[in-house]
Structure 1
Amino acid sequence: MSRPVTVGVDGSPEAVAAAGWAAGEAVLRGVNLRIVYADEWQGPTTAQYGGPEARSRWAEELLAEAAGAVRREHPSLEIETRHRSGQPSEILATEASEAGLLILGSRGLGGVRGFLFGSVGMATVSVTERAVVLVRAPGRPDGAVPAGPARDVVVGVDIDQLFAPLLDFAFQEAVLRGDRVLVLHGWSISPVVRDASALVAAEREMGPDIARRLTEALRPWRREFPSAEVVERSPIGGPARLLLHAADNADLVVVGRRVRKGTLGAHIGSVTHALIHHCPAPIAVIAHD
């Protein structure tokens, strides 16, 4: 049986957008949608709704409302709802282990302040080894593929440490959506010699070899996904800045997170952290060794 697409909801506009995006993803994948509400969610508090019975009733109404909104857009989609009590990050991590994909909402604050991506979401991303997609409102809530020129599934890679799960996910999503795959590799030179003339010289002298290495690294994915249109870019520049710029034409930005066992909190990496806080497009965080 195929794993469902799972989305966490809490009644916020971001969760509504996430549910819509998740429904579109489930349709693209041909799988069921599971909508989950976890008590103690860091969002509209359930404490104001009284005791356990009142809270439970409110949660069931919330789930029914979310499922109803999705059914109006996707009447043939199979939808399951779940209300679970406990620590939300633990619940969502458990749900993710049963899912093909977990979708969460991210709260956009605008400008340089970026996202307020709360402790629940950060904890969930840091502990699950399934792909997690973060969706902000308003976006395109139905997850539809837009008409007109192709958009991109953007993926950031390091050609010195190429991780297959990242590219597998990006290429699969692009094929599902009819999008291009835009593969970005940013690189730099020593800060000691990083003036304008040195950058120009470095790009002229080193750029062609780096571009060749990127092309060689992508050959297995080009063979496996022959229908995918692939664009390769390897400019000088910080990976986070390059990915954020590319996100303007993206349906999805795909970034990685190393799986690290530890007790000192989330380990998601500086590039992924920057994208979570500032990227306007949905972001897929892929765990890898």
Structure 2
Amino acid sequence: MLRPVVVGMDGSRESLAAAEWAAQEALRRGLPLHLVHAWEGGVTPDLSELPELDAPRYRARRILRDAVERLGERCPQVVPTTEQIARSAPDALVAAGDEAELLVLGSRAFSGFGGFMAGSVALATIAHVTRPVVLVRAEQTLEGEHLPDAENHPSATTPYRDVLVGVDPANACEEVLAFAFESAMLRAAPLQAVYTWRLPYVEAAAEARARRAVGARAAKALTAILRPWREKFPTVDVHELTPEGSAAQRLTDAAKGAGLLVVGRRIRPARLGTHTGPVVHAVMHHVRCPVAVVPHQ
């Protein structure tokens, strides 16, 4: 049975943009699309007759109905299914995400109020879902995934923008690279693989030589880890980048022209807390293109 692309809906502009991005991704992957909305009074049988639930129940139905209608206009090739889940938003999204091929959420970069994607819920969901999660901004459009046309106008028919992936050879990242290479292949887009490094303390007289040596080792390590993936995905045009500096800052800078950023999140045994790591936390705040967070052991 095919895993669906699942979208968390809360009626915000961000979740509608997430649904449109997810519909395109479902088309690219040949997967079903499933829209979910969570509210704790949702469909619990013993609460179904309470009149005070009429307003939130109607709002929940309207959120999903409006999303389906919007997708029918903008992506008629995809016919989504919908579901109301009678659980708190984080619990509902984690459960739905664990059964999905990927989970797509609207992202406000933790600014503003209202809706279940405002900061803590998105963070809690990403920290606990065992499948990839993609965060999408409200301003994301179909044209935004593509390069501008010859007259520098937005276009949905030009080639896709680059897929960018952060690589750490010191940690197992097969799931991250698999997602990044597949995403680039599906888009016929170039893949930029970025491995950042920092120069350890050395005497000033030896700094230039040490920088060249460390940079060369970083380039060699990146080439080695990518070699089997280049062979597995021979049609993907891969660019290897090994800049010096902070991974969070370098990825944020490189993502300014990208169509998708892919980063990894190590799965931790503890189920409490929101352990995403500093790089994931930074790109969730600052990167404007869709961000895929891929969990790995």
Q: Which residue of 2 aligns with 1:172?
A: 182
Deviation >6 Å, runs of 4+: none
Picking from 174, 179, 183, the partner of 2:193 is: 183
**TM-score, structure 1 normalization:** 0.88
Gap regions ≥5 residues in structure 2:
42-50, 112-116, 148-156
Counterparts of 1:258-269 in structure 2 under 5 Å? 258-269=266-277
Deviations 1:112-135 (A, max 9, x none): xxxx95111111111110000011
- Write the letter of the residue equivalent to 1:70: L
More displaced 10-residue stretch of structure 1: 30-39 or 209-218: 209-218
Residue 85 of structure 2 corresponds to 84
Is it true that 1:101 corresponds to 2:102 in the alignment?
yes
Amino acid at match of 1:135: V
User: Identical aligned pairs, as a percentage?
Assistant: 41
The Cα of 1:53 is off from its aligned counterpart by 2.1
Shifted more, 55-64 versus 223-232: the winner is 55-64
Q: CA 1:91–1:222 in 2, change beyond 3 Å: closer, same or farther?
A: same
Answering whether residue 58 of structure 2 is matched by residue 64 of structure 1, we say no
Residue 268 of structure 1 aligns with an amino acid whose one-letter code is T
Distance 1:117 1:245 in 2: 24
Offset, 1:162: 3.8
Hey, what does 2:121 align to over in structure 1? 120
What is the letter of the counterpart of residue 23 of structure 2? A
Partner of 1:217: 225
Q: 1:10 to 1:117 in 2, by over 3 A?
A: closer
Contact 2:145/2:259, CA 8 A, preserved across alignment: no
What does residue range 21-36 of structure 1 map to in structure 2 within 5 Å?
Answer: 21-36=21-36
- TM-score for the superposition, normalised by structure 2: 0.86
CA shift, 1:109, in A, is 7.2
Shift of 1:91: 0.5
Q: Distance in 2 between matches of 1:233 and 1:198?
A: 24
1:250 aligned residue: 258
RMSD: 2.2
Query: Aligned AA for 2:67?
Result: A
Q: 1:199 to 1:53 in 2, by over 3 A?
A: farther
- Separation in 2 of the partners of 1:107 and 1:199? 42
3-state secondary structure, aligned to 1:133: strand
Deviation at 1:199, TM superposition (A): 5.5
Report if the CA contact (8 A) 1:6-1:102 is conserved: yes
Deviation at 1:140, TM superposition (A): 1.6
The answer to whether 1:201 aligns with 2:202 is no
Offset, 1:193: 4.0
Assess, with a 3 A threshold, how the Cα gap between structure 1 residues 213 and 81 changes in structure 2: closer, same or farther. same
